[in-house]
Amino acid sequence: METLHPLTRLIDEFDLLGTFWNKKHGLFKNASPVAGMLDESAIQEVLDVGLLRWPYFMLLKEGIQPALTDFTRTRNVGGRSVSGFADAGKVRAQLAGGATMKLSQLEDWHLPTRRLMDEIESRLPAELKAYVFYTPCDNTGMLPHRDPSHVLALQIAGAKEWRIYDAPDKVDSRGGLLPGLDADSHSHSFVMEPGDVLYLPHGIPHVATARTGTSLHLTLTLTEPAPLELAESLMEGFGEEADRLDSTAPGISPEEKAAMVTGALLDHLDRLDPGVLVDRAVMRMRNRRA
């Protein structure tokens, strides 16, 4: 019998897709162990090894990234100078000054995270990406902002205060910073501690600040296919059928050919299962990272 990670089981046990998905946030206290997640000592080790390179990591303070030269260095790789490698001393100085370190694409280099994501992807029709945020106490990596995807966040160490702004006039599918948003106009406020999990629907503004020591949390972004991605998958599925039309009616005019293709496409749409189209689009999205 397959043993699933508690974070994966949470999707079924709390009916994430039915009760929360695209409707409201969900805070699940002490819902997942943090063993096996990237911890502070592992981050310091990765930093010291010297192979970490921008943009697999970046530094942010209230949404602003310092100049690359303020936290990276150039190394000799195979006889040529390559920039963007983490400078451990500079990075630690930035952290001491309140900057947040964001580690990206953990699925490419942290096996436990990759395995967890594979489990969750088997449950959700979305493309997943993984990030870790390492934030000094009483500091904020990003000012109020929206993410262009759903979010699952797991607090690994320390504590983080979240503020959520889910009034209808503030929710929007477009991601980015919200400089005009009053930080005190939040609808909900709570503190996440190790083992707590947050689900946040696509497009809801939020901000998070480290409390009670250095905060470390894992964020999984869950991106559903956009209309354009569905359209591209539709045409990909129709492509082979369209190719065969050339042999069925040789010598016809471009206008007649266009009418024939239009009719074949409409027939294809009549026979199309929307669920199959979604699955095809999601697979195309996931294959982009392979």
Please give the pLDDT value at position 239. 83
- If pLDDT is split at 50, 70 and 90, which confidence band does 204 have? very high
What is the DSSP secondary structure assignment for residue 249, as one 8-state letter?
Answer: S
Helices (H), 149-288: 227-245, 254-271, 274-287
- Residue 71 to residues 50, 51, 133, 180: CA-CA distances in angstroms? 12, 14, 16, 29
Write down which residue in 223, 246, 275 finishes a domain. 223
Q: Of 202, 223, 244, which residue sits at a domain end?
A: 223
Residues 217 and 232 in one domain: no
Contact 156, 34 (CB under 8 A): yes
Please, which residues have CB within 8 angstroms of residue 192's CB and are 6 or more apart in sequence? 27, 153, 155, 159, 160, 161, 162, 198, 217
Count of helices and strands (H, E) across the chain: 7, 12
Helices 40-49 and 88-96 sit at what angle, rounded to 10 degrees? 140
pLDDT surpassing 90 at residue 224 = yes
pLDDT for 179 equals 82
Whether residue 31 lies inside any domain: the answer is yes
Q: Last residue of a domain, which of 223, 253, 277?
A: 223
Pairing of β 57-60 and β 100-104: antiparallel
Copy the structure tokens of residue 131.
Answer: 């990030």
**Is residue 164 a part of any domain in this protein?**
yes
Name the token pair of 110: 């942290």
Verify that 19 and 131 share a domain, yes or no: yes
Distances (CA, A) of 82 to 50, 54, 70, 149: 13, 11, 16, 33
Q: Is the pLDDT of residue 242 over 60?
A: yes
How much is the pLDDT for 177?
Answer: 83
Domain coverage including residue 260: 227-287
Which two structure tokens, joined as six digits, stand for 35? Answer: 């063993």
Q: Mean pLDDT throughout 48-53?
A: 90
C-alpha 129/C-alpha 9 separation (Å) is 19
pLDDT at 39: 93
Inter-residue contact 192 to 151 (CB < 8 Å) = no
Separation between Cα atoms, residue 37 and residue 132, nearest integer Å:
10
Q: Which of 1-5, 77-81, 169-173, 252-256 has the lowest mean pLDDT?
A: 1-5
- The reply to whether 250 and 203 lie within a common domain is no
Question: Mean pLDDT of all residues in the chain?
Answer: 91
Q: Which residue has the tokens 């939040």?
A: 186
* Residue keyed to tokens 């029709």: 125
pLDDT of residue 147: 93
> What amino acid occupies position 39?
D
Distance of CA 155 to the CA centre of its chain: 16
Distance between CA atoms of 256 and 271, rounded to whole angstroms? 23
- Output the pLDDT for position 256: 87
Shared domain check, 183 and 241 = no
pLDDT at 272 over 70: yes
Q: Are residues 99 and 203 in the same domain?
A: yes
- Domain count for the chain: 2
DSSP string, 118-160: HHHHTTSSSEEEEEEEEE-TT--SS-SEE-SSEEEEEEEEEEE
The reply to whether 1 falls in a domain is no
pLDDT computed for residue 2 by the predictor: 67
User: Which of 13-27, 102-116, 205-219, 227-241 has the weakest average pLDDT?
Assistant: 227-241
